[in-house]
Structure 1
Amino acid sequence: MRIETINVYTTPLPVKGGVYRMASTDVQSLDSTLIEIVTDDGIIGWGETCPVGPVYQPHHALGARAAIAEIAPGLVGLEIASIRLLATRMDERLNGHGYAKAAFDIAFLDLLGQKLGVPVSTLLGGALTDRVPAYYSLIVGPPDETARVAADKVKAGYPRLQIKIAGRNLEEDVATVHKVWEAVGYKARIAVDGNRGLTVAAAIHLDRLCQTIPFVFEQPCNTMEEVATLKGRVTHPVYLDENTEDQNAVLRAISTGIADGFGFKVTRLGGLTKMTTVRDICAIRSLPHTCDDAWGGDVIAAACVHLASTVEPRRFEGAWIAQEYIDGHYDPENPIVIRNGHIAVPQRPGLGVQPQAKKLGGPIVTYGR
């Protein structure tokens, strides 16, 4: 099974409801990049990468497509057998840019799973469950409205809520955390996500003013060094998200003991293959984590769910996919959807989704022999 053709597609993903608001940025429409790999025996594999604009992380849509342009020509003609060898070939074409390489890694696993007749979860070590818990992200908003949405999402079955804060007066953030707690209590686990938007002083202040509310404090400050200074000064467990830019960053955070858990993004860490490494390191240290991505449609959602199903449930913090915030599906026949706060793990070979290319329009570029 050799790579015959690589097609690159782009598709806009408007935010349902208008704006997705975080501490660092507001987004109204996302620019997703999909790759379609066609092999010489007619099997088609898909990958996707979709940064949340250009400031959430050092990733952006045009950068992903520029990186793909460097990598793709060197992959045409290669055999889909060793994922590690294919990763080496990508590194020989381009240094870094893991978020673009992740799309290829996902597509390679999709192809291999189809060839072997097994789901991607099997290639990642084997599923431990047939459905995984999701969590809902409450955007930065007025305290009362955020609490109302939180209560609705708990009724809809979500076992975990993420409250986005920062980028405004600390008093509003504190009020929001208290209002959500009053609305849902122990009916859902809570994460308070600063998205790097708080100073150390503000993080400590918020921690003290919300001391009686059980939550995990996700990425409150901008740098790992700032987060490190919180150790022993806050009462809530601190999780890292944006700072985990690669495997080395995860190792550093674990070895220095500054993280009590993580919010992991598949594309940020370079794909599913690299995510399995940090998954297993976290298992050794008994550190909980999520399996998410920044944004995207059914392809990246399927990738997140396959990986999530391989994580030991007691250490799993949930999967976040963008389905609640976007309309439609790449594969209407086998969509990745959240029902009762959980997501079914695809059972078909490969990712279990096959986007309809006609829904994406024509490819913006094709690489082939």
Structure 2
Amino acid sequence: MRIDRIHVYQARLPVVDGVYRMSHTSVEALDSTLVEVTTDDGLSGWGETCPIGPVYQPHHALGARAGLEEMGPGLIGTDTSSTRAVARRMDGLLTGHEYVKAAVDIAVLDVIGQRLGVPVSTLLGGAVVDSVPSYYSVTVGEPDESARVAAEKVRSGYRRIQVKVAGRDLAEDVETVRKVWEAIGHRARISIDANRAMTVAHALQFDRLCAEVPFVLEQPCNTIEEMELLRGRLHHPVLLDENTVDVNTVLRAIGSGIADGFSFKVTRLGGLTKAALARDLCALRSLPHTCDDAWGGDVIAAACVHLGATVDPRLLEGVWIAQEHLEGHYDPVNPVVVKDGHIAVPQGPGLGVRPDADLLERLATYGG
């Protein structure tokens, strides 16, 4: 039950529909890092971390690989029966860099699930649904095009639409919000995501100009301190996203009342084990949240779905996966896909997906 080998792989993920545009950055291809943890009893589990470029957060693909190189040799021989013990070992080898450690945490949970013959969702407290609602993210674009895409996705089954704004003229953002609302109305919930690009003054003005449109405003400003200045001054509920850098920050935000909900990223929080703690903190205060990640393929998608399946359905804002922007799957036999706006919880022990290593580029091996 101890780690015998760690293989590190790379997957190149081009954005098939052109460019994914956000307020701060645009990406045409992503660089994902996958980890395969093999134990001395012959089991292997998979994890993944895929930053959406180097400027969305202080995460980047080369940093993920460097972190694994730093930790990898020291993890050989670690007992995999406890994810908390593995976490302590990782913390003893490298301070911080939670997005790197997340891939190992996910892989170890995959191993434990296979050993016990249960899905990862069972290890996280137990699934309460067989499938989870997804949501679609409309990237920064022309108002009419954003409205067209939003209406199309609602027709296909999505019941939550996220619309990216900011990084351009305020009037264009306001027009986009109004046209999306005209196009979909109450057929789906709307989240307006500024990806922290607004000033406090900008956020207040935007909120007032769109006061008649029902939506949640996601991470309008850059820092926790700026978000605190917005408390009690907005018409719309506010979700925190990029500021949720760890579970302690989530606890602080809940305690201070600066967030009406969260958009959680599994790897940002440090993996499924720590994301489950954030889930439970939200449950104590009945705060809605998503269970998703920045980007990636079937492995991180499966991880997010397993976590989402354990959330009280009334609190789950959805699970976003990058599948609609990608071509192909690591596991062609059991791919993780969105169908009619929902994602089925992967079946089988562990994550329920087994990547084909021949589709990936092996970069390093530790141990063995």
Q: Which residue of 1 aligns with 2:75?
A: 75
The 5 Å alignment of 1:267-278 reads: 267-278=267-278
Q: Which residue of 2 aligns with 1:180?
A: 180
Secondary structure of 1:125's match? coil
Secondary structure of 2:105's match? helix
Shift of 1:74: 1.0
The AA in structure 1 aligned to 2:264 is: F
Deviations 1:22-59 (A, max 9, x none): 00100110000001111222211000000011110010
Q: Are 1:166 and 2:154 matched, yes or no?
A: no
Shift of 1:325: 0.6
Q: Which residue of 1 aligns with 2:253?
A: 253
4+ runs of 1 displaced by more than 4 Å? none
Q: Which residue of 1 aligns with 2:5?
A: 5
Structure 1 CA distance for aligned equivalents of residues 238 and 167 of structure 2: 19
Shift of 1:333: 0.2
Structure 1 unaligned spans of 5+: none
The AA in structure 1 aligned to 2:81 is: A
Q: Which residue of 1 aligns with 2:363?
A: 364
Structure 2 CA distance for aligned equivalents of residues 197 and 87 of structure 1: 33
Deviations 1:89-125 (A, max 9, x none): 0000000000000000000000000000000000000
The AA in structure 1 aligned to 2:221 is: C
Structure 1 CA distance for aligned equivalents of residues 175 and 201 of structure 2: 18
The AA in structure 2 aligned to 1:199 is: T
Shift of 1:253: 0.8
The answer to whether the 8 A contact 2:139-2:163 is kept is yes
Secondary structure of 1:229's match? helix
Shift of 1:2: 1.9
Shift of 1:346: 1.0
The AA in structure 2 aligned to 1:335 is: P
Q: Which moved more, 1:306-315 or 1:74-83?
A: 74-83
Structure 1 CA distance for aligned equivalents of residues 270 and 210 of structure 2: 35
The AA in structure 1 aligned to 2:41 is: D
Computed over aligned residues only, the root mean square deviation of the Cα atoms, in angstroms, reads 0.7
Structure 2 CA distance for aligned equivalents of residues 28 and 203 of structure 1: 28
Structure 2 CA distance for aligned equivalents of residues 291 and 83 of structure 1: 19
Q: Are 1:331 and 2:331 matched, yes or no?
A: yes
Structure 1 CA distance for aligned equivalents of residues 136 and 71 of structure 2: 35
Secondary structure of 1:314's match? coil
Q: Are 1:302 and 2:293 matched, yes or no?
A: no
The answer to whether the 8 A contact 2:79-2:85 is kept is no
Structure 1 CA distance for aligned equivalents of residues 108 and 68 of structure 2: 14
The answer to whether the 8 A contact 2:261-2:289 is kept is yes
Secondary structure of 1:168's match? coil
Deviations 1:265-284 (A, max 9, x none): 00000000001111001000
Structure 1 CA distance for aligned equivalents of residues 256 and 16 of structure 2: 40
Secondary structure of 1:268's match? helix
Q: Which moved more, 1:74-83 or 1:155-164?
A: 74-83
Q: Which residue of 2 aligns with 1:66?
A: 66
Deviations 1:154-177 (A, max 9, x none): 000001000000000000000000
Q: Are 1:347 and 2:340 matched, yes or no?
A: no
The AA in structure 2 aligned to 1:27 is: V
The answer to whether the 8 A contact 2:216-2:238 is kept is yes
Deviations 1:215-245 (A, max 9, x none): 0000001111111111121100011000000
The 5 Å alignment of 1:95-244 reads: 95-244=95-244
Q: Which moved more, 1:204-213 or 1:265-274?
A: 204-213
Q: Are 1:315 and 2:346 matched, yes or no?
A: no
Deviations 1:167-214 (A, max 9, x none): 000000000000000000000000000000111111111111111111
**When the two structures are superposed, what TM-score results if normalisation uses the length of structure 1?**
0.99
Secondary structure of 1:284's match? helix
Secondary structure of 2:318's match? coil
Deviations 1:127-167 (A, max 9, x none): 00000000000000000000000000000000100000000
Q: Are 1:45 and 2:60 matched, yes or no?
A: no
Structure 2 CA distance for aligned equivalents of residues 367 and 142 of structure 1: 48
The AA in structure 2 aligned to 1:79 is: D
Structure 1 CA distance for aligned equivalents of residues 39 and 224 of structure 2: 42
Structure 1 CA distance for aligned equivalents of residues 226 and 78 of structure 2: 44
Secondary structure of 2:161's match? strand
The AA in structure 1 aligned to 2:203 is: A
The AA in structure 1 aligned to 2:24 is: S
Shift of 1:79: 2.1
Shift of 1:8: 0.4
Secondary structure of 2:267's match? coil
Structure 2 CA distance for aligned equivalents of residues 231 and 76 of structure 1: 47
Q: Which moved more, 1:66-75 or 1:125-134?
A: 66-75
Q: Which residue of 2 aligns with 1:27?
A: 27
Structure 2 CA distance for aligned equivalents of residues 90 and 155 of structure 1: 45
Q: Are 1:288 and 2:288 matched, yes or no?
A: yes
Deviations 1:317-339 (A, max 9, x none): 00000001111000000000000
Shift of 1:351: 0.1
**When the two structures are superposed, what TM-score results if normalisation uses the length of structure 2?**
0.99
